[in-house]
Structure 1
Amino acid sequence: MLEEKNDNLQEADGNLTTDSIESLQDNSTIAETPAITETTEPVITDSNAEVSTEEEVPETAATIENENQKALNSIDDSNAEESEDETLKERHEIPMQDYDTLSMAALVDELDALVSTGKVMSIKEHVEEIKKAFLAKYNHFIEEKKEEYHTENPDTTEDFQYHSPLKTKFDQVYSLFRDNINTHFKSLQTNLKTNLENRLAIVEELKELINPQENIKDTLKHFNDLRERWKNAGPIPKDKYNHVWNNYHFHVENFYDYLHLDREARDLDFKHNLELKQKIVARVEELVNEADVNKAFRELQDLHKIWKEDIGPVSRENRDIIWNQFSDLTKQMHDKREVLFEKLRGTELENLEKKKVIIADIEVLATEKVNAHSQWLQQIEKVEALRTAFFSAGKVPSDVNEETWAAFKSAVRNFNSFKNSFYKEIKKDQSENLAKKNALVTKAQELQESTDFAVTTPIMKRIQDEWKQIGHVPRKYSDKIWKEFKEACNHYFDKLKEHKDEDSAEEIAAFDNKKLYLDTLRAYQLTGDHKTDLDAIKLHIETWKNFGKVPFPRRHIEGKFNKILDALFDKLSLSKKDTDMIRFANRMDSLSENNDSRKLENEKIFIMRKIEELRNEINQLENNIQFFTNTRNAKKENSIVLEVRKNIAIHKESLDTWKEKLKQLRNLNQE
C-alpha cells in the first residue's frame, strides 16, 4: 500500500533545481538581497505542526494538549519507534493469535517457527505472549504432577523432579531468540548513533546555507544534496526522532524563505508540495470510511511519515489550512480506532464472564463427593472439558488476567486435592491387594517348571482365577507384577502344550498333508473373475482347516500358508477391510484349532488397546476441530480443517474394523 501511495504522490521530494532559477545571473551575488540575521536553533515540541520561521515558538507549546494532539501524538510515537528499527513494521503483518488456546506442544512449534523465520523485533511481542501462555500451562502441569507424586509417595523424603523434553525445547528456542535480540540491539545501537551524528551534521550544514557570500546556484545545489543525504541517512534513536526532524524542517523552511529573491521558483515548489499534501488529505478522507480500521490506521501512519519526511513546505498562507485539514481527519481516524478498542474491551469482558462461570463449575466439582473410581473418572473428564473451555474462551482484560488465572489454578488445585484424598483412602486396600498378588506370583514361579501336569494344571488355573478376583494395586507396581505373573503362567502352559503335541500322530499327519497342500496352493492361478477367485480361496482355507492341528513345534507351516494367502488377496480387488477381516478370521481359527489360548488372549488385549488408542485419537482430532472452528480468525473449511475431518473418517473406519475383530474373537471364545 505504501508503494501505491508513493506512486500517487509522484515526486514527493519537491526539490528546487538550478534550472528553476535561470533568470538569475551567474554572477549575481547575495549582496543584492536584504541581509538576513542568523537564526538560533529552536526547540519545537509540536512534532507535526508546520513552524513559521518569522514567529518565535511559544514557551507554553509543550503544555498545549487538545484532542487533535492526542491523535497526532499516538502516530508520532509509533512512527518514532518504527523509524528507530524498521523491522518493527513487520509485526503488523504477523497476526497475533490467542495463544492461551494452544497446547504446550503447539506453543513450542509456533515459537520455533517464529524464531526460525521472523525478524527479532517484529516477533518480540508474539514471543512474549507465547512465553507467558506456555509457562502458565507448564507450571500448572508441574503442580499436578507434583501432587500426584506426593499422593503416591506420602512418606518419601526425596524431592520431586520431573523432566520435560517439551520444556527443554522451549528453553532452547527461547534462548536462541534472546541471543538474536541481543545481537540485533548491539548492531542497532551502533548504527543509530552513527546515523544520529550524520543527521545532526546535516542540520548544521543547513544552518550555514544562508550565506550571503555564496553563489545562489551553488547554494541551491548544496541544499538539494543535503536533502538527498537526509533521506538516506538511516534510522536514529526514537527519543531523538521528532526533535531532530523538527529542527531539520525548521531550517528547510528558513532556507525557502531565504529564496524570496526567486519568488517564482519558490512559489512553484510550494504549489507542487501543496498538491502532494492535498492528495494525502484526499486519501485520508477515503481512509476514514475504510472498514478495516487497523489497516487504515497503519496507512495513516505511513502518510504522516511521507508528509513529514518526503514533502517540503508550502506557502505560509496555506500551512495552517492544509495542516488543520490533515490533523482533523487524523482525529477522526483516531476516534474510530478508540471505538474499535472499546468493542474489543467489551468482548474481553464477555470472555471474563465465561471464565468466571467455568471457575465456578470447577469449584462445585471440588465439593461433589463420589465413592468409586469409575465415578471419579467421570469427574476428571468434566474438569478436563472445563479446562479446555477455559483456554478456548479467549482473552480477558489485562488488568484482571493474573487474578483470573490465579482463581482458575486455585479451583483446579482444590479439585485435585479433593480427588487425591479419595485415592489416599483406598491406598491401604491397594497395598493389601499387592501383597496377595505377590504371593500368587511366587506360587506360579515355583510351579512353572513342574512336569506333573495332571496335578499342577488345575492349581495354575485356580491361581489365574484368584488373580482376576483381586482388585487394583498401586500403579507403579502394576505392570511389573503382571509381567512376572504372566511369564510364569505362560512358561508352564507352553511346556504343557509341547508335552501334549509330542506324541500326536494325528497332528503329524495333518502337518504332512498341509505341507503337500502348500505345493498345490503355490501353483494355483486366479481366473480373473472376482467371485470365482474369492470362492476358490475360501475353499482353500476351508480345506486347510479340515486337515486339523499340527504339532506345536511345527506351527510355522501356518505362517507359510498365510503368506501365500496374502499374495492371493493382494491380487484380488477386495477392499482393505474385507481382506483384513478374512485374513484375521483365518489366523484366529488357526489359533483356536491349536488351543493356543495364550495367543488368543494376547490378541484380545492387543485389539482392545488398539480400540482405546483410536478412540483417544478421534477425541483429540474432534477437539482440534472445535479449536479451529472456534478460533476467531479461522475459516470454517480451510485446508487444515478438511484434513482433520479426513483423518477422523479414516480413524473411525479403522475403529469399526477393530471392533468387528474383537466381536469375532469373543464369539470364537464362546464357541
Structure 2
Amino acid sequence: MSEKDNLQDADGNDILKKEAITQEERVTEDLNAPNEESTAAEATEIAETSASVDDANSSEETTPDTPETEGVVDTPISSGPESEIEKSISDEAPVKKKDTYVEEIEESNAEDAEDDSNVERHNLEDKDYHSMSMEQLADEFESLLKNKKVQTIKSPVEEIKTEFNSKFSEILEEKKEDFLSEGGNEIDFFYSSPLKKRFNSIYNDYRTNLNAYYKTLETNLKSNLEKRLRIIEDIKGLLNVEENINTTYKHFKDLQEEWRTAGPIPRDKYNNAWNTYHHHVEIFYDFLHLNRDLRDMDFKHNLDQKLKIIDRAEELAKDDNSNRAFRELQVLHKMWKEDLGPVDKEHREAIWERFSNATKTIHDKRQAYYADVDKAHEANLEKKQAIIAKIEEVAKDDVSSHQAWQNKIKVIEGLRTEFFNAGKVPIKMNEATWAKFKGAVRTFNKKKNTFYKSLKKDQYINLQKKLDLIKIAEDNKDNDDFETVTPLMKKIQNDWKHIGHVPRKDSDKIWKRFKAACNHYFDKVNAERNAADKEQLDAFESKTKLLDELKDLKLSGVAEQDLETIKQKTEEWNALGQVPQNKRFIEGKFNKSVDALFNNLKLDKSEVEMIKFENKLESLSQPDDTRLLDNEHHFIRKKIDEVRGELNQLENNLQFFSNIDESNPLVKDVLKNIENHKENLAVWEEKFKKLKELY
C-alpha cells in the first residue's frame, strides 16, 4: 500500500487523485504583487515544517551491508543579522521539543528513507522460530527467500539462523560425546547432515542475492543523491532567472514534485539533504512574495489534506491491531512532513494537537501491547525454567539398567519438545535461558554416556562369547550327523539370544557370520528331510495300491497256505517303508484288513493273536524313532495289570461260593470267566515277551 492509498475523502475519492491536480492549475488565478504579510506567514510555516526533521535521525548508524555514499552539500542558514522574515519566524513559531512518540515515528521513517521497500519488512508475520524444528526452520528460510524481497528479511533470517545453529550445535555435541565414548579420537570427529547442507545452501543463496541487491542499491542511492543535489541547485538558480513570476513559480512546483519522486538516498545523508532543501525553499518563498490569494489557496489545500490525514489517524486510534495502526501512522507522518506544506496560522496549533493526540493514542496502545507481550514472555520464561528444573531432576536420578536409561531418554526428549514449544522469553534472558537449558541437557548426556561407556566392557565380554558360538556353528555347518548336531545348533541359537549387547560396530558383522553358518547347516537338514519326505510319499502311494489289492484277496481255504499268503502280504507291506506322519492312518486300515483275513482262518485263537501281534510289531519298528514301541510297551503293561486285577477279583469272589456245588450255574460262570482271564493273561504276557526281545 502506498503512502496515499490509505486516504479517501467523504465521497470515497482517493486523495491521490486530488493531489494529482497540478500546481499549475492552482496558480492560474491572477497573481498580484507580493506583500510582506503573506511572505512572512509562508516562511513561518516552511520553517515549522523544516523543524519537524528530527536531528536524532542524523545519529543513525549505517547498516554494515549498505555501501557508503559520498558527500552532500549542506548550505547553512546565514548567521548574519536577523531579517524581518527570520524575526517573524522566531516570534510567531518557536520550535518546540517533540514528544517521545513523535520522535519514535520520525526515527523509523528516517530508517526507511534509505530504501522505500523497507516498509515491507514491517508487514512480515512475526513467528515463533524458537519452537520450530530444524527442518521447519529450513523450510521457512526457503519460503522467505522465494516469496519476499531479500532486503526486507534480514531480521527473520538472522533469527532463523541463530535458532538453527543452536539446535544443530546441540546435536553436534551429542554426536561428539557418542563418538568419544566409543573410543574415537577428538581430532578425527566430523559430523554433518543433509539438512545442514541444505540450510547452508539456502543461506549462501541469500547472501548472494543480498550482495547483488546492495550493489544495485549503492548505484541508485548515489544517483538519487546527485539528483536531489541538482534539484537544490536548480531551486537556488531560480532566484537569478529573469522571467515571468508565474513561469518561475511553475518551475519551482515542478522541482518540488521532482524532489518528491527522486527516490531514496543514503540514510546518513537524509537529514542533511532535507534541511538543505527546506532552507532553499524558504529562501525561494522569501524571494517570491506570493500574493494573499495564492497563499490562501495553498493554505486551504494543505489544510484539507491534513484534516483527512487526521481523520485517518483518529480511525487508526480505534484499531485493535496496534502494530498495523502504527505502521500506517508512520506513512501519515511522512505525508504530513514531506508531501504537504503550511496551513493558515489560526489552524496550525489545533490541527497539530489533533494529530498529536491521535498519534499518542496509537503509541500508547502499542506500548500496552508490547507490555502484554513482555508479560507473556515472562510467563514463558517461568515455564522454561520449570522445564529445565525437571531436566536437572531427571539427570540427578541414577539408574543402572539399559531399559531404565532408555525410559529416561524418552522423558528428556519430551521435556526438550516442551521447552521448544514454550514460546519466546524476554530478549535479555534468552541467551542465559538457552545456556542453562543446554547445560542441563549436557549434564544428562554425560551421565548417560558414562553409563553406556561402562557397558562397553560387558559388551566386549559378550562379543567374545558370541565369537565362540560362531566358531561352533562354523565347525559344524557341514556335519551330517543330524541327530547329534541339530540339538547342538538349536542350543547355540538360544544361547545367542541371551548373551546381550555387543559393541555397535561389531554387531551386524558377527550376526551375519553366525546367521550364515546356521542357515548353511539347516539348509542341509531341510534338503535331507525333503528327500526323506519324498521316499515316504512314494511308500504311501505303494501301500495304498497294496491295500486295494488286499481288499480283493481271496483265500484258498487251506489254513497253512492262507497263513503263508497273509505273512507274505505283511512282509511286502513292511518292506515298503514308512509313510509321512500325517498319512499313518493307512497302517490302521491295513491292520483291519489283515484281521479280517485272520478271522477267516481255522486256527487257534491265541496263535492267530500272536501272528497278528508280530505283524503289528513289524510296522511299529522304526530305525530312528522308538516312540511307537514305547507306547505299545506301556499299553501291554497296563493291560497285563488290568487282567491280573480282574483275575484276582474273580478268585476272591469265588471264595464266597465255598459251600456251593460247582455244578451251580453261577459258580460255573465264574469259573469259566477265571479261565478266560488266565488265557488272556497268557497271551498278553507272551506279547510282552516278544516286545522285550525287540529292545
Taking structure 1 as the reference length, what is the TM-score of the superposition? 0.69
Change in Cα spacing, 1:34 to 1:419, as seen in structure 2 (3 Å) is: closer
Q: Does the 8 A contact of 2:26 with 2:297 survive in 1? A: no
**Hey, what's the Cα distance between the residues in 2 that align with 1:63 and 1:370?**
75
Match of 2:446 in 1: 417
Residues 339-354 of structure 1 correspond to what in structure 2 (within 5 A)?
339-354=368-383
State the 1:295 CA deviation. Answer: 0.7
Which whole-Å deviations, capped at 9, do the CAs of 1:121-177 have from their partners, x for residues lacking one? Answer: 2111111000000011011111111111111217x4752221222211111111111
Structure 1 spans left out of the alignment, 5+ residues: 513-546, 550-671
For 1:386, which of 415, 423, 440 is the aligned residue?
A: 415
Are residue 323 (structure 1) and residue 335 (structure 2) matched? no
Q: Is the 2:394–2:408 Cα contact (8 Å) retained in structure 1?
A: yes
Counterparts of 2:280 and 2:299 in 1: how far apart (Å)? 16
Question: 8 Å contact 1:45–1:62 — kept in the other structure?
Answer: no
The equivalent position to 2:300 in structure 1, one of 267, 271, 282, is 271
Distance 1:437 1:261, change over 3 A: closer
Quick check: 2:101–2:359 contact (8 Å CA) kept in 1?
yes
Q: Distance in 2 between matches of 1:251 and 1:395?
A: 50
Q: CA 1:261–1:308 in structure 2 vs 1: closer, same or farther (change >3 Å)?
A: closer
Letter in 2 for 1:200: L
- For residues 512-553 of structure 1, what are the alpha-carbon distances to aligned partners after superposition, in whole Å with 9 as ceiling and x for unaligned? 9xxxxxxxxxxxxxxxxxxxxxxxxxxxxxxxxxx999xxxx
Distance 2:123 2:309 in 1: 23
Q: Which residue of 2 aligns with 1:444?
A: 473
Deviations along 1:31-68, one digit per CA (max 9) or x if unpaired, are 9999999x9x999664179x99645888xx999755x2
Q: Give the letter aligned to residue 478 of structure 1.
A: S
Structure 1, residues 347-386: CA drift from partner, whole Å, max 9, x if none? 1111111111111111111110112111111111111111
Partner amino acid for 2:127? Q
- TM-superposed deviation, 1:5: 1.9
Matched, 1:11 2:18: yes
Q: Which amino acid aligns with 2:24?
A: T
Equivalent position to 2:223, from 174, 185, 194: 194
Alignment partners' CA distance in 2, 1:211 and 1:22: 24
Paired positions, count: 502
Read off the aligned partner of 2:7 and give its amino acid letter. Answer: K
Taking the aligned partners of 2:30 and 2:141, their CA distance within structure 1 comes to 64
Structure-2 residue corresponding to 1:81:
111
Show the 5 A alignment for 1:204-243. Answer: 204-211=233-240, 213-243=242-272
1:504 aligned counterpart, secondary structure? helix
The one-letter code matched in structure 1 to 2:126 is: M
What CA distance in whole angstroms lies between the structure 1 residues aligned with 2:38 and 2:377?
64
| 1:395-437 deviations in Å (ceiling 9; x for gaps) | 1111111111111111111111122222222221111001101
CA distance in 2, matches of 1:74, 1:14: 33
Within the candidate set 83, 88, 104, 2:134 is matched to: 104
Question: Partner letter of residue 178 of structure 2?
Answer: E
2:53 aligned residue (47, 50, 58) = 47
Q: How does 1:452-463 map to 2 (within 5 A)?
A: 452-463=481-492
Counterpart selection for 1:130 from 160, 167, 170: 160
Is this contact kept in 1: 2:115–2:264, CA < 8 A?
yes
Aligned twin of 2:124: 94
* 8 Å CA contact retained: 1:206, 1:251: yes
**Alpha-carbon separation, structure 2, partners of 1:33 and 1:95:** 54
2:274, 2:88 → 1: CA distance?
Answer: 18
Of 307, 310, 318, the match for 2:336: 307
Contact 2:34/2:290 (CA < 8 Å) preserved in 1? no
Quick check: 1:195–1:234 contact (8 Å CA) kept in 2?
A: yes
Distance across 1 between alignment mates of 2:255 and 2:173: 63
Output one character per residue of 1:52-101: Cα deviation in whole Å (capped at 9) or x when no partner: 9645888xx999755x2x21222112222222112222222321211111
Residue 14 of structure 1 deviates from its aligned partner by: 6.7
Q: 1:159 aligns with which of 185, 188, 201?
A: 188
1:11 is paired with a residue of what secondary structure?
helix
Name the residue aligned to 1:498.
527
Q: 1:271 to 1:499 in 2, by over 3 A?
A: same
Unpaired stretches in structure 2, ≥5 consecutive residues: 56-76, 78-83, 542-579, 583-695
Matched-pair contact (CA < 8 Å) for 1:99–1:107: yes
The code of the aligned residue for 1:346 comes to: K
Tell me how far 1:8 sits from its aligned partner: 3.8
Structure 1 position 23 matched with structure 2 position 52:
no
**Secondary structure, aligned partner of 1:449:** coil
What TM-score does the superposition give when structure 2 sets the normalisation length? Answer: 0.66
1:407 aligns with 2:436: yes
Contact 2:50 2:278 in 1 (8 A): no
Q: Residues 62 and 54 from structure 1, CA distance in 2 versus in 1: closer, same or farther, beyond 3 angstroms?
A: closer
What is the Cα deviation at residue 254 of structure 1? 5.0
Aligned to 2:503: 474
Q: SS at the partner of 1:5? A: coil
The one of 301, 309, 312 aligned to 1:283: 312
Alpha carbons of structure 1 residues 384 and 11: separation in structure 2 relative to 1, 3 Å: same
Q: State the 1:244 CA deviation.
A: 2.4
- Distance in structure 2 (CA, Å) of the matches to 1:317 and 1:35: 14
Between the aligned partners of 1:477 and 1:454, the Cα distance in structure 2 is 33
CA contact (8 A) 1:507 1:548 kept: no
Whether the 8 Å CA contact 1:18–1:217 is kept in 2: the answer is no
Cα gap change, 1:367/1:151 in structure 2, threshold over 3 Å: closer, same or farther? same
Question: Which residue number in structure 2 is paired with residue 139 of structure 1?
Answer: 169
**Matching residue of 1:118:** 148
Distance in 1 separating the partners of 2:182 and 2:176 = 10
Offset, 1:115: 1.7
Assess if the C-alpha contact under 8 Å between 2:34 and 2:288 holds in 1: no
Instruction: Determine whether 1:171 maps to 2:200.
Output: yes
Distance 1:548 1:136 in 2: 68
Query: Aligned equivalents of 1:35 and 1:373: distance in 2?
Result: 92
Paired amino acid for 2:457: K
Alpha-carbon RMSD: 3.4
CA distance in 1, matches of 2:382, 2:26: 70
Instruction: Assess, with a 3 A threshold, how the Cα gap between structure 1 residues 501 and 190 changes in structure 2: closer, same or farther.
Output: same
Q: Cα–Cα, structure 1 residues 281 and 220, in superposed 2: closer, same or farther, change >3 Å?
A: same
Q: Is contact 1:14-1:273 (8 Å) kept?
A: no
Amino acid at match of 1:206: I
After the TM superposition, which of the residue ranges 160-169 and 295-304 deviates more from structure 2? Answer: 160-169
Q: How far, CA to CA, are the matches of 1:211 and 1:507 in structure 2?
A: 127
CA distance in 1: counterparts of 2:352 and 2:440, whole angstroms: 57
Give CA-to-partner distance per residue, 1:421-475, whole Å, 9 cap, x none: 2222222111100110111122212222333323322221111011112111122
CA distance in 1, matches of 2:197, 2:14: 52
Give, as a single letter, the amino acid of the residue that structure 1 aligns with 2:19. A
The letter for the 2-side match of 1:106 is Q
Cα distance change on mapping 1:287 and 1:368 into 2, 3 Å: same
